A and B are shown apart, each in its own frame.
Chain A
Amino acid sequence: MKPIMLVNRSSTTFKVSRRAFVDPAILRAEQSTIFDHSWLYLGHASELAKDGDFVVRNIAHRSILFTRDTKGKLHALFNTCAHRGAQVCREKKGNAKSFQCFYHGWVYGPDGTLRNQPGQECYAPDFNKDGSANLTPVARFEGYKDFWFICFDKNAPALSDYLGKTKEYLDIVHDQAETGLMVVGGTQEYAIRANWKLLTENSIDGFHAATTHATYFDYVKNMTGGLVKVALEGSATDLGNGHAVLEYRAPWGRPIAQWIPMWGEEGKRELDRIYHKLVARFGKERADRIALSNRNLFIFPNLIINDIMALTVRTYYPMAPDYMQVNAWALAPKEETDWSRKFRLSNFLEFLGPGGFATPDDVEALEQCQRGFQNMKEAGWNDISKGMSKAAQSYDDESQMRAFWTRWNEHVQTAGVE
């Protein structure tokens, strides 16, 4: 079998075959070895604020119904009628006391239990005694600090163990709110004509900012008062299990809490208040870390939580080797003022998303990579060696990507791809 990864410690080179981005057999192996066994992000508890709230999400080619039942308990159910398999819920989100499949009228509670079905007298008295006529629950469903995940493998490790060292960074995100974080209304749903792993790399890539995002930095310089006088610098860390994080200072404004002159005196008072509250809650050292440093957190295989000029959560799934679907949300403290919410969202859009000043150029870069891979027979290898010879990894080195690829390769090799 031809290798997909070439790691040479003596010459400190790390190469990935471009076949990894184009071969349908690799995608099949990813689905069976990674997406069928990893913990995958389903949603945030704040999206189901009230009893009866529900959201439907496509996760790894499954339709999942994420519900809060009448007692406030959360559930992850396959959105498939136990009777003949129709999708029971056809709305993307809402509030419901029950879900009725429109085909033959079977009715389920928000916990997935079959409540009744037309013609009940024609079924045996102990029909559904074993629960097999309920909506099928996802094998594993666990949450950490309001972030809820599913796993299709009933033998998977506990979510807490899977998340491992990433919990330190999820805590930093969670601690930005006193009364909890919430997903702000509005989802950025888009697609990229490129392999999904290119977005993993790109989301934790500190190397590309200066060239890919030159026009973003031009824009920030043109703002009233310009940039904050701090240099782009920081570290990259392999968090184990394929997870990784960049943590760094940057010259842009942060709604929690790095003031920029563009936000004026009102903004300064507001950010001072937020900062002093953080100091009171956590002490100066942790408050400074929360307020002033940025984090691009990657949770294997496809969850990004970027705590940068705004807070964003992003997941992405391959539909084909050269096509992925992306969902992105904005997170914000529930208790923040109208001023903070407005400027947070404005800050989000200056960089992030399909209409931002940066993301479209990332999308272009990823699509240009995918196009470049058409030459893979003769030009066959990606280089991911940057920083490999150094002991300490800078935010713009590539050890975080090597962490991803190493874990990815361990999974995919178990499928024995030829």
Chain B
Amino acid sequence: MGAAMKPTVARIDVEEFLFREADLLDEWRLPEWLELFTDDAHYYVPSTDVAPDASPDNNLFYIADDRFRLGERVARLMKRTAHAEYPRSKLRHLVSNVRLVSAAEGEIRAKASFVVFRAKDGVMDQYVGSYRYRLVASEAGLRIAEKRCNLDMDGLRPQGRISFIL
């Protein structure tokens, strides 16, 4: 790889960033997690029968948040009236197979595999899939411009809900 092509952000930096993100989610520190996002960020969870790159503008997703709605999602989940997560479930995000797809002009594209375990009321559910990130390098470090969670599942059975952050 020539010097001009060398990314300024290494895979290990992205991996460290994603591990820190996973910690914040597992510890339900959602307002801090929200600070990882840019002001024009998006968070997507497509339904499981659409193409991996399908658009939420003409396909029914599970979640398609702009930054405003993502902020509202966090605000909701911090309330005890978010009944689906009160009392809160126990979460564990396992993030693996982190790869840099591209890094150019300050935008880094990365992907990773995930398994999220959710435990509540004696039931353990698993969510499996791949993350696709668009990250930007800012003075404060990496920021998420887009987080897309493509589920490798045949629908949400038996899980039934995505009532936390994947």
Contacts and interface: CB of A to CB of B under 8 A. Distances in A.
B60 A186 contact: yes
A357 B83 CA distance: 11
A190 B60 contact: no
B76 A184 contact: no
B19 interface: no
B83 A364 contact: yes
Interface in A81-138: 92-93
A361 B156 CA distance: 16
Q: How large is the interface on B (under 10, 10 to 19, 20 to 34, 35 or more residues)?
A: 35 or more
Contact of A363 (B46, B58, B84): B84
A314 to B, nearest CB: 12
A341 B54 CA distance: 14
A357 B76 contact: yes
Interface string B128-155: 0000000000000000000000000011
Contacts of A93: 49
Contacts of B85: 360
Given A349-B62, A357-B76, A189 B49 contact: yes
Nearest to B66: A346
A325 B59 contact: no
A187 interface: yes
B76 A338 contact: no
Nearest to B50: A186
Given A192-B160, A361-B82, A187 B49 contact: yes
A338 B58 CA distance: 8
A376 interface: no
Interface string A213-238: 01100110011000000000000000
Contact of A214 (B50, B72, B75, B81): B81
A361 B73 CA distance: 13
A365 interface: yes
A219 B76 contact: yes
A362 to B, nearest CB: 9
Contacts of A353: 60, 62
Nearest to A364: B84
A188 interface: yes
Contacts, number: 132
User: Size band of the A side of the interface?
Assistant: 35 or more
Contacts of A212: 83
Contacts of B47: 186-189
Contact of B84 (A219, A330, A360): A360
A185 B54 contact: yes
Given A190-B161, A360-B162, A354 B58 contact: no
Interface string B155-166: 111111111000
B121 interface: yes
A341 B58 contact: yes
A172 interface: no
14 contacts: A185-B50, A186-B50, A187-B47, A188-B60, A189-B48, A191-B157, A218-B75, A325-B157, A330-B60, A345-B58, A360-B84, A364-B83, A364-B84, A365-B83
Interface of B: 45-50, 54, 56-64, 68-69, 72-73, 75-76, 79, 81-85, 121, 123, 154-163
Given A93-B49, A364-B83, A367-B121, 11 more contacts: A186-B59, A188-B156, A190-B155, A190-B157, A190-B160, A323-B158, A346-B64, A350-B69, A357-B72, A360-B161, A361-B82
A-B pairs, 7 with minimum CB distance: A189-B155, A186-B60, A355-B62, A355-B63, A360-B84, A360-B163, A190-B156
Interface of A: 92-93, 184-193, 212, 214-215, 218-219, 222-223, 323, 325, 329-330, 338, 341-342, 345-346, 348-350, 353-355, 357, 359-361, 363-365, 367, 371
